[in-house]
Amino acid sequence: MPGKLLRSILIGLIVGGLLLAVMPSLRQWQLSPTTQYDSADESPASYNSAVRRAAPAVVNVYNRALNSTSHNQLTLGSGVIMDQRGYILTNKHVINDADQIIVALQDGRVFEALLVGSDTLTDLAVLKINASGGLPVIPINPKRVPHIGDVVLAIGNPYNLGQTITQGIISATGRIGLNPTGRQNFLQTDASINHGNSGGALVNSLGELMGINTLSFDKSNDGETPEGIGFAIPFQLATKIMDKLIRDGRVIRGYIGISGREIAPLHAQGGGIDQLQGIVVNDVAPEGPAAQAGIRANDVIISVNDKPAVSALETMDQVAEIRPGSEIPVVIMRDDKKTYAAYRRPGISCDQLTGSPPGERFSISKQWPGREFRQKPGHGQQRPQSGPRKLALPQFIIERHQRKLAVITQNSPLPEQPLGLLPRPGGITFPGQQMQQRLLQADAI
């Protein structure tokens, strides 16, 4: 009993000593002012640096069309300045039927743009402006490959609100079958792409161009409005098309002249064609390149121009890049035996086409039943006008350029110093008459 009492006394003395030792610091902590976290030396997570690099090169594109009833139609979209020469990439549906194309830069400058060329199959167009000063150019890294999960920013002029940045990720790559031609190899993103974003830039977190914003889902047949689903044309394809349009004014493509389908992986593992990859020929266009080379229905194309024919889309892109008149070797499988054929690659201009090259159709397995895609020519609503005809300037241009621009009417004298724009009724010139403000309603994304 005395031993237990002694141990209790010793434990009490030890605990008491510890409390006395820490009590001053506890009391100081209780009496001191509330400690505040000093974040002055830290910055919040931000994509501001990417925006500052890329946003100045994204422009507003306004398309003025004069219809048969002499009514102005004005639509809007976006564009991307690609180099110091003044070449701008945008979507073809943004500038369809344009009587005049106006480009507004973020630094306040406004130009009339020249249409260099357009390509129906990719819905791309190239514009050119003549600027005396330097131009902001979108950063491009040719070696950059977009990956699923990469953070991206969509830059454009939605609903004519002015330049707007939305953020998301790359949700998928290689989306095909989203338009009648099935040729684009779209990037899918959940960054918001709305009316007015067409032709704008999709950039990564470094501000580098990843794609040209082009498509978004419309309402489905049951009235549901999908969210977070937009599409952009990869910059690799867009720059190829741009170079061809600048060089030739059009895009000339080759074609094989077949209809076919890719061999599904499960199919390739059975039926006596283990691990075979290629394109099964369904039909051959009479007198087409494939027919002249001896290719028949039910042949399996193994390679084209010494490159494996794994994807119909990739194979067609490879053929399109080959110089017209070149003879191309083709390896096919017929009756379980490899056969070699060769055909001469003809050239065909997109201007001659309304769809894919004649005789060339590849089935697309990825479909979204009940969905419609918004990729239509953008036309603003017609606005009947009485009296002098005026160009309905978008609110953004009016606010940003009200000291620089004037609306020229049919009854107005032309100013002495046009700003490099077309000096005609309804055109924009410089300087000074009072402008009639008009809010633009857009139809193109």
Q: Which residue is catalytic, options 192, 198, 216, 356?
A: 198
CA dist., res. 159 & res. 77, Å (int): 9
- Give the Cα separation of 419 and 109 in Å (integer): 10
Q: Is 196 annotated as a binding residue?
A: no
From the candidates 123, 171, 192, 401, give the one annotated as an active-site residue: 123
261 is in an annotated binding site: yes
198 is catalytic: yes
Within 13 A of 213's CA, how many CA atoms are on the CB side?
36
Conformational region of residue 369, where left means phi above 0, alpha means psi within -120 to 50, and beta covers everything else = beta
Among this protein's residues, is 351 annotated catalytic? no
Residue 410 — φ and ψ, nearest 5°?
-65, -20
Q: Is 260 annotated as a binding residue?
A: yes
- Contacts of residue 13, Cβ cutoff 8 Å, sequence gap at least 6: none
Mode of pairing for the β-strands spanning 327-334 and 300-304 = antiparallel
Is 35 annotated in a binding site? The answer is: no
The annotation status of 259 as a binding-site residue, yes or no, is yes
Asked whether residue 181 is marked as a ligand-binding residue, the answer is: yes
State the catalytic residue, choosing from 78, 93, 118, 303. 93
Both tokens of 387, joined, read 């009296």
Q: Is 169 annotated as a binding residue?
A: no
Binding residues: 181, 256-261
Binding site residue list for substrate: 181, 256-261
User: Which are the catalytic amino acids?
Assistant: 93, 123, 198
